[in-house]
């Protein structure tokens, strides 16, 4: 699905899935990222404000192993890479909540 098509989809709850499978979490980086994200959300009391009806979920392998922590937004079928806590917060706010994909961090489909 092209990013432009996502803007035309009817509003539906999006879910951010953060992969903590064996490739994405080789050195514990994905688990650290999730822990840091949850701490930031709790510290800022942003859980309800940012996430709203959507959610951020820890998942084991999402089937697109590339050796870096990856995240996936369902049902838009958009993958994100180069994740940091700030990047995840942006994705939660812009894509999951406001349905505007963050093109800068979208993992381009190679196939």
Binding site for ligand FES (CB under 6 A): 19, 21-24, 61-65, 70
Residue 110: both structure tokens together: 């190679």
**Distance of closest approach, residue 59 Cβ to ligand FES, in angstroms:** 8
**Distance of closest approach, residue 62 Cβ to ligand FES, in angstroms:** 4
Ramachandran quadrant class, 107 (left: phi over 0; alpha: psi -120 to 50; beta: rest) = beta
**Distance of closest approach, residue 93 Cβ to ligand FES, in angstroms:** 23
By beta-carbon proximity to ligand FES, the closer residue of 24 and 97 is: 24
Q: By beta-carbon distance, which residue lies closest to ligand FES?
A: 21
**Distance of closest approach, residue 44 Cβ to ligand FES, in angstroms:** 27
By beta-carbon proximity to ligand FES, the closer residue of 22 and 75 is: 22
SS (H, E, C) 39-72: HHHHHCCCHHHHHCCCEEEEECCCCCCCCCCCEE
By beta-carbon proximity to ligand FES, the closer residue of 68 and 94 is: 68
> Residues 6 or more apart from 39 whose CB is under 8 A from it?
none
Q: How many CA atoms lie within 13 Å of 84's alpha carbon, on the beta-carbon side?
A: 3
């Amino acid at each position: 699905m092209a990013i432009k098509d996502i803007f035309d989809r009817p509003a539906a709850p999006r879910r951010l899935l953060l992969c903590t499978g064996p490739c994405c979490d080789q050195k514990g980086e994905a688990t650290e990222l999730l822990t840091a994200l949850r701490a930031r959300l709790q510290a800022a009391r942003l859980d309800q404000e940012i996430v709203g009806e959507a959610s951020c979920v820890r998942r084991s392998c999402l089937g697109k192993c590339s050796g870096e922590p990856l995240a996936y937004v369902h049902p838009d079928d958009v993958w994100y890479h180069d994740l940091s806590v700030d990047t995840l917060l942006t994705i939660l706010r812009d894509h999951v909540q406001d349905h505007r994909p963050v093109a800068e961090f979208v993992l381009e489909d190679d196939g």
